[in-house]
């Protein structure tokens, strides 16, 4: 166990809807990153938050947004869902943003968009 939890485990939505995924980081971890993993692919970086501010973003449109809270929890919000958003969404927490810090991944939320 990595000490990182995510909810819900599974989620089914329809195209056009909005979804919020949640992550609880390890206590003391100031950095949280979100990844999207399509079936048969490796995870792709969505964005990273450090001390409640977005610190970096991958090649994802603005309808993917996030929040990080002082209690080490965070959210990934996706608006106007598309079929291609169906994937496993992973959050990962780390102590600081330095590149050598190990990232601890949660078990993921599997989102299906119909």
> Where on the chain is the footprint of other proteins (CB under 8 A)?
2, 4, 31, 33, 35, 37, 39-45, 48, 50, 55-56, 58-59, 88, 90, 92, 94, 96-108, 110
Least distance (Å) between residue 28 CB and other proteins: 15
CB of 18 or CB of 112, closer to other proteins: 112
CB of 78 or CB of 93, closer to other proteins: 93
CB of 39 or CB of 84, closer to other proteins: 39
Cα–Cα distances in Å, from 19 out to 12, 13, 47, 93? 10, 8, 17, 21
Contact 8, 75 (CB under 8 A): no
Report residue 88: phi and psi, to 5°.
-95, 125
Contact 32, 25 (CB under 8 A): yes
């Amino acid at each position: 166990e990595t000490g990182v939890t995510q909810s819900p485990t599974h989620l089914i939505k329809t195209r056009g809807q909005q979804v919020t995924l949640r992550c609880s980081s390890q206590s003391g971890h100031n950095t949280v990153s979100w990844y999207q993993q399509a079936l048969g692919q490796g995870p792709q970086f969505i964005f990273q938050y450090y001390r409640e501010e977005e610190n970096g973003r991958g090649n994802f449109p603005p309808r993917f947004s996030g929040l990080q809270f002082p209690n080490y929890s965070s959210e990934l919000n996706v608006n106007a869902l598309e079929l291609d958003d169906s994937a496993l969404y992973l959050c990962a927490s780390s102590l600081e943003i330095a590149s050598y810090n190990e990232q601890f991944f949660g078990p993921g939320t599997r989102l299906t968009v119909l």
